[in-house]
């Protein structure tokens, strides 16, 4: 969805349209959770403290978020998607992956499905969304980002190399600011360059994620679309910890992540469980809480593997405030 939270607010209060506006956790002391496209030229982005946002854009209109309203809207939108395929993986409240491989005979083509979904969301919810149609999840996510808002981008398999050649590595989902800077420090700024670097070099520099980085540079991704319904009866195992003091110390936070990964792994091995989805939840000093998940193509239960995936998620996120809970 396009700027989902604030778009819902604009739908319900048309007076916000055409003006810089943002949703935040509270009107006094919180962070921006969603900014409209009029606010973005001022540098307003999700995770920015509201005081900083107002400093950058004094006329910015702040709207206190209504999570129940967003959840209800989101559920209706996901229901529309399930009319086209049962293979709908909910990635977050405003994002999903669909596998329409087996649906194209019924609905003509993937392009037709995407156009129909956009039309129905616009008609029923008065909202816009951006869709990427591609051979895998990595490229579909990329496509959805290329023409926001209200975009529809098709990435065909035979054109992947051409599209990625000069595209900044930051365009790829999973490469955050820190990883982007690390890649730039060794002369890698485009996806084309990343795909040409030897795996052994990337592994030596970045450890276990080196191989995955090269695959991303080549536009490869074998992670499946995992429907929520498929996992409803599955067991989940989790651990969390509230830190003694709010902190931005990356070394300390990595140690905490490792400890949590080992605790989860110990329980999984004890009960003979394996999993293929890692979810990381971060709560900041202002109590804003954010979760991000990653579906894997393989089943895992070792502490090191869980830690690697959790760390990759952690490092792909901006952390605007000290962290209170992991």
The one catalytic residue among 95, 180, 211, 231: 95
Angle at 126 between CA 125 and CA 132, to 5 degrees: 85
Give the C-alpha separation, 164 to 195, whole Å: 9
Q: Which of 214, 209, 183 is nearest to 196 (CA)?
A: 214
Number of Cβ atoms within 10 Å of the Cβ of 209? 19
The three-state (H, E, C) secondary structure of the chain, written as one string? CCCHHHHHHHHHCHHHCCCCEEEECCCCCCEEEEECCCCHHHCCCCCCEHHHHHHHCCCCEEEECCHHHHHHHHHHHHHHHCCCCCCEEEEECCEEEECCHHHHHHHCCHHHHHHHHHHHHHHHHCCCCCEEECCCHHHHHHHHHHCCCCCEEECCHHHHHHHHCCCEHHHCCCCCHHHHHHHHCCCCCEHHHHHHCCHHHHHHHHHHHHHHHHHHHCCCCCCCCCCHHHHCCCCCCCCCCEEEEEECCHHHHHHHHHHHHHHHHHHHHHHCCCEEEEEEEEEECCCCEEEEEEEEEEEECCHHHHHHHHHHHHHCCCCCCCEEEC
* 108's tokens: 């003509």
231 is catalytic: no
Whether 131 contacts 137, CB under 8 Å: no
What residues contact 227, with CB distance under 8 A and at least 6 apart?
86, 87, 88, 89
Residues marked active site are found at 95
């Amino acid at each position: 969805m396009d700027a989902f939270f604030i778009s819902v607010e604009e739908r319900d209060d048309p007076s916000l349209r055409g003006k810089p506006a943002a949703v935040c956790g509270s009107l006094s002391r919180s962070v921006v959770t969603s900014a409209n496209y009029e606010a973005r030229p001022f540098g307003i982005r999700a995770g920015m403290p509201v005081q900083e946002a107002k400093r950058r854009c004094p006329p910015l209109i702040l709207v206190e978020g209504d999570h129940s309203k967003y959840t209800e809207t989101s559920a209706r939108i996901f229901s529309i998607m399930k009319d086209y395929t049962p293979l709908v993986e909910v990635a977050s409240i405003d994002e999903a992956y669909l596998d329409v491989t087996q649906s194209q005979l019924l609905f003509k083509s993937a392009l037709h499905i995407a156009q129909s979904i956009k039309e129905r969301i616009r008609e029923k919810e008065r909202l816009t969304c951006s869709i990427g149609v591609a051979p895998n999840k990595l490229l579909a996510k990329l496509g959805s980002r290329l023409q926001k808002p209200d975009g529809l981008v098709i990435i065909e398999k035979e054109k992947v190399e051409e599209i990625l050649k000069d595209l900044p590595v930051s365009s790829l989902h999973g490469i955050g600011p820190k990883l982007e800077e690390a890649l730039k420090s060794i002369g890698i700024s485009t996806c084309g360059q990343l795909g040409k670097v030897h795996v052994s070099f990337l592994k030596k520099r970045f450890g276990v994620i080196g191989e995955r980085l090269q695959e991303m540079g080549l536009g490869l991704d074998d992670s499946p679309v995992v429907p929520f319904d498929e996992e409803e009866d599955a067991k989940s195992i989790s651990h969390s910890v509230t830190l003694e003091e709010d902190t931005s110390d990356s070394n300390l936070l990595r140690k905490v992540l490792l400890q949590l990964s080992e605790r989860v792994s110990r329980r999984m091995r004890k009960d003979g469980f394996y999993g293929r989805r890692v979810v990381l939840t971060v709560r900041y000093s202002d109590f804003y809480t954010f979760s991000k998940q990653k579906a894997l193509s393989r089943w895992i239960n070792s502490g090191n593997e869980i830690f690697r995936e959790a760390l990759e998620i952690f490092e792909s996120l901006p952390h605007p405030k000290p962290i209170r809970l992991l």
